[in-house]
Amino acid sequence: MLSQLHIIPLLPLLSAAYLILAGRHHSRRVVHHVACMAVGAALLVSADAFFFALPALVESGGLTDVVGTWFASGDLRVDLALRMDALSGLMCLVVTFVGALIHIYSTGYMAHDEDYARFFAYLNLFCGAMLLLVLGDSLPVMFIGWEGVGLCSYLLIGFWYGEAANASAGKKAFITNRVGDLGFLIGMFLLFRAASTFDIPAIVDTARAGSATLTATLWWGQPVAFWAALFLFLGAAGKSAQIPLYVWLPDAMAGPTPVSALIHAATMVTAGVYMVARLGALYLLAPAALAVVAVVGALTALFAAVIAFAQNDFKKVLAYSTISQLGFMFVGVGTGNFAGGIFHLFTHAFFKAGLFLCAGSVMHAMAGSGDITRMGGLCRKLPWTTWVFRICWLAICGVPVFSGFFSKDAIVTGAFATEVFGPHLGWVGPAAGASLLAAALGTAFYMSRLYFLVFTGECRADPHTREHLHESPIEMVGPLLVLGLGALLAGVVGLPSGWPHGDLIGHWLAPAVGRSLEVSSGLEWRVMAGSTAIALAGIGLARLFFGGGAREPARRFVAALPRLVAVVRGKFFVDEIYQGLVVRPMRGLSRLLFLVVDRILIDRLLVGGWAVLVESMGRLLRLLQVGDVQRYLAVFAIGLAALVYVMARPATPSEVKIRVEGRNLAVELSDGEARPGKLDYGFDFDGDGREDVLGPTPSASWSYARPGRYRLRVRITDPQWNTSRTIERSIDIR
């Protein structure tokens, strides 16, 4: 069972298939049992492999499983191969663990939904695809999972497709992802061209060896490795919601909250980070690409944090928070600190999923509303939720001891201390680090705002809702508690390397992503102190504005700087810009194509044209149908006569040999026929119309009296039919 890695993605996929086909005929109990057991079993198998089989093999590349050959063409062969090494094993655990928790949560959250089976089917499908993505050993297999999670994202965001807005959100997610996917494909093909393989370990080895195919200059003076890495990062930016392809994530909050927790917090959006870490050796070969990753990550982290200041929907705040935190992760991998980025991915999975599930819990209590302006004082009615939220809140703010503190610091420290950039790009590390500190301040601020406005102070909801505020059932609170515990304790795997049991995750991941950087403890402590101060400052600032649920100070601020606030509230109008720059021209083009190509060219010309052609041919041919049998027979006779004429003529001679010697001429015809000697030949040499030589021989000669140009005519007669044929030649006599 251990080497049967394919069971891990297979179980959820089979469950999904079954639920899609037959789910709606079963009771809810059966449905959620099947679904949860599928993911649970995947978790058990993953854990079994991870803890028992993997450690022995982790140095040599981990567990592998080849299911079969997907396709082979010429020298190329792509197998359906899975690999669990240090990195993919960790991801596998995260996906199955958080996935299982959210499945259990969903049994409570979606309990009153009609499409219960469909939801779990899609959720299982997602898990299967994500596992395929994580475990895939070659880029095409990973791409199957990549596309699969994109599909499931679309299906689940638009789960309540009855509302047009939800369907649009799903479309937006899918299409934006598609743009990124194009980048992924181009990068994949560039790598194939350089490394002649799609297998990830082979590519990584080629990169580690610094192969010339990868370092050769391609475009604009940059090597192949740079462009491949860049295009792949475009794919990552799409999937992981970085600038410029992040716009789908806030809209994706239209989906059910468990979806947001699983897909848009813990797993799918982290696929980009995972991919960069997996192909880390390639990125190390092109520091410029790493710089792009780091810069984009830093900018996104800051940008999204600012937007989150002005959001009034619980889930939207969390969405922008996710975008921002993903930026942190990309700074991590973008500064060569792959272990750091993955560490933050790990802790983020716990506290962000926890935050989202808390949101779900709150919205469940608020009868589906997520408007924080109408919340407040919920700590009294939702105690468990409030406690888990507090833990996750402090974790994300980076307050010491909580998990987020250690992972954020790992990244910031790694950014300042990085050595992957050369002299030209040396500024990238510290700049990214500084941006992240600013973003951390922002994070602390907006998350604390969220906390104060929702859980403290007086409740601002209407009386009816206030009466129905209640804590969530156990199937929702249970996973919450587990995640809260994780958010509290997960930091333990990434303690600073100087400490006892330090950098466990770094050591574990080393066979896959390389060794962690040695950082001076002085820098470590400085960063820790600084980030703690920043976290507390952010919380304090938020308390000033929103402490106890107050909204007056914020209102005064808004009044003081109306235009700035409008821009932030409008999310910097990025959606509007895209609408004008991309969507409208596309729509216009498509309309143009419709009117010109489809309506005119195809419908009128090609289709209608054929009809007109057929009709006119019909009309023409109808003229032949005179209805008069005698005329038909006459035509028959005419045809017969033509046939007889052609068949009865003597054949053209295959060769006409003319020999001129002075004034003497000799002509010889060779008869290709099988019937020699049955024809008469009449030769007219002098062009007078009378035949000078007659006879059955196909040759004759003549002496010309005078030089000049003569017309030689030979008449071949078939006496049997009394038909003849005339051959003419021009003769020059000198």
Partner 1 sequence: MNPAAHSASLAEAIVFAILGAGVLAGGLMTITRRNPVSAVMSLVLSFAALAGLFATLSAHFLAVLQILVYAGAIMVLFVFVVMMVNREETTPVARQGLVMRAAGVLAAGYVFYRAAWLVGHERTLPLLAASATPPVKDFGTVASVGALLFSDFLFPFEAISLLLLVAVIGAVMLTRHFHESGPRVS
Partner 2 sequence: MPTYAYILVSLALFFVGTAGVFLRRNALIVLMSVELQLAAGTLALLAFSRALGDQRGHVFAFFVMAIAAAEAAVGLAVVVSVFRTRRTTSLDEVNDLKG
State the DSSP H helix or E strand holding residue 724, giving kind and residue range, or none if neither.
strand 723-733
Of 51 and 636, the one with the shorter C-beta distance to partner 1 is: 636
Shorter beta-carbon distance to partner 2: residue 605 or 641 = 641
3-state class percentages of the chain: helix first, strand second, coil last, to nearest 5? 70, 10, 20
Strand arrangement, sheet containing 655-661: 655-661, 664-670, 699-703
Question: Is the bond leading into 719 cis (omega within 30 degrees of zero)?
Answer: no
Smallest separation, CB 689 to partner 1 (Å): 24
CA distance 5 to 397: 37
In this structure, what are the phi and psi dihedrals at residue 102, rounded to the nearest 5 degrees? Answer: -70, -30
Using the rule CB under 8 A, is 51 a contact of partner 1?
Answer: no
Position 633 contacts partner 2 (CB under 8 A): yes
Q: Return all residues near 479 (Cβ < 8 A) that are at least 6 apart.
A: 101, 102, 104, 105, 357
Give the one residue of 458, 695, 719, 728 binding partner 1; rule: CB under 8 A. 719
Taking the complex as a whole, how short is the minimal distance between the CB of residue 705 and partner 1, in angstroms?
38
Residue 405 and residue 397: Cα distance in Å, rounded? 7
> Which has the closest alpha carbon to 267: 154, 102, 110, 514?
102
Binding status of residue 641 toward partner 1 by CB under 8 A: yes
Report whether 307 contacts 320 (CB < 8 A).
yes
Residue 717 contacts residue 679 (beta carbons within 8 Å):
yes
What's the chain's Rg over C-alpha atoms?
Answer: 41
Instruction: Report in angstroms the alpha-carbon separations of 599 from 68, 525, 594, 614, 723.
Output: 47, 70, 6, 20, 61
For position 636 contacting partner 1 by CB under 8 A, the verdict is yes
With CB under 8 A as the contact rule, which of the stretches 178-186, 366-374, 617-625, 715-723 interacts with partner 1?
Answer: 715-723
Question: By CB under 8 A, is residue 634 in contact with partner 2?
Answer: yes
Contact 153, 252 (CB under 8 A): yes
Q: How many positions of this chain bind partner 2 (CB under 8 A)? A: 10
Which string of DSSP letters, residue by residue, matches 623-671?
A: TT--S-HHHHHHHHHHHHHHHHHHHHSPPPPSEEEEEEETTEEEEEEE-
Q: According to the binding rule CB under 8 A, does residue 678 interact with partner 1?
A: no
- Provide the minimum distance between the beta carbon of 643 and partner 2 in the complex, in angstroms, as a whole number: 16
Q: Are 204 and 281 in contact (CB under 8 A)?
A: yes
> Which CB sits closer to partner 2, 627 or 677?
627
Q: In the range 313-372, which residues lie near partner 1 by CB under 8 A? A: none
* Backbone phi, psi, residue 696, to 5°: -80, -5
Among 586, 637, 648, 658, binds partner 2 (CB under 8 A): 637
Report the alpha-carbon distance of residue 452 to residue 545 in Å, rounded.
9
Q: What is the DSSP string of 30-81?
A: HHHHHHHHHHHHHHHHHHHIIIIIHHHHGGGT-EEEEEEEEEEETTEEEEEE
Q: Point out which residues pair with 665 in neighbouring strands.
A: 660, 702
What string marks each residue from 587 to 626 as x (binds partner 2 by CB under 8 A) or -? -----------------------------------x--xx
Using CA atoms, how far apart are residues 103 and 523, in angstroms rounded to an integer?
42
Contacts of 161 (CB under 8 A, 6+ apart): 167, 170
Copy the structure tokens of residue 186: 């181009």
666 makes contact, choosing from partner 2, partner 1, none, with CB < 5 to 8 Å by partner type, with none
Binding test (CB under 8 A) with partner 1, winner from 71, 594, 610, 721? 721
Residue 586 within binding range of partner 1, rule CB under 8 A: no
CB of 636 to partner 1, least distance (A): 8
Q: Does 614 bind partner 1 (CB under 8 A)?
A: no
- 696 contributes a contact to partner 1 by CB under 8 A: no
Question: Cβ closer to partner 1: 52 or 632?
Answer: 632
Q: Which does 640 bind (CB under 5 to 8 A by kind): partner 1, partner 2, none?
A: partner 1
Query: For residues 684-713, which are near partner 2 according to CB under 8 A?
Result: none
Q: How far is the CB of 722 from partner 1 (least distance, A)?
A: 4
Backbone phi, then psi, for 710, in 5-degree steps? -120, 155
The DSSP bridge partners found for residue 709 are 732
- Contact region with partner 2 (CB under 8 A), list: 201-209, 361-369, 632-640, 674-682: 632-640
Q: Which residues pair with 714 in a beta bridge?
A: 683, 727
Q: Residues in contact with partner 1, total (CB under 8 A)?
A: 21
Closer residue to partner 2, CB minimum distance, 630 or 722: 630
721 binds, among partner 1, partner 2, none (CB under 5 to 8 A by kind): partner 1
- Which of the stretches 161-169, 220-228, 266-274, 630-638 binds partner 1 when contact is defined by CB under 8 A? 630-638
Region label for 625, one of left (φ > 0), alpha (ψ between -120 and 50) or beta (otherwise): beta
Give min distance, CB of 729 to partner 2, in A: 38
Q: Is 492 in the site for partner 2 (CB under 8 A)?
A: no
* Residue choice 165, 637, 658, 666 for contact with partner 1 (CB under 8 A): 637
- Choose the stretch contacting partner 2; rule: CB under 8 A; options: 273-281, 427-435, 444-452, 633-641: 633-641
71 binds partner 1 (CB under 8 A): no
Task: Find the binder of partner 2 among 627, 688, 689, 690 (CB under 8 A).
Answer: 627
Residue 629's binding partner among partner 1, partner 2, none (Cβ under 5 to 8 angstroms by kind) is partner 2
Per-residue binder mask for partner 2 (CB under 8 A), 529-558, x = binder:
------------------------------
**Cβ proximity to partner 2, 628 vs 732, nearer residue:** 628
641 binds, among partner 2, partner 1, none (CB under 5 to 8 A by kind): partner 1
Pick the closer one to partner 2 by CB: 614 or 626.
626
Measured from the CB atom, the residue of 11 and 716 that comes closer to partner 1 is: 716
Is 368 a residue that touches partner 2 (CB under 8 A)?
A: no
User: Using the rule CB under 8 A, is 631 a contact of partner 1?
Assistant: yes
Element (H, E) at 360: helix 338-365
Contact footprint for partner 1 (CB under 8 A) = 626, 628, 630-631, 633-638, 640-642, 644-645, 648, 719-723
Contact footprint for partner 2 (CB under 8 A) = 622, 625-630, 633-634, 637
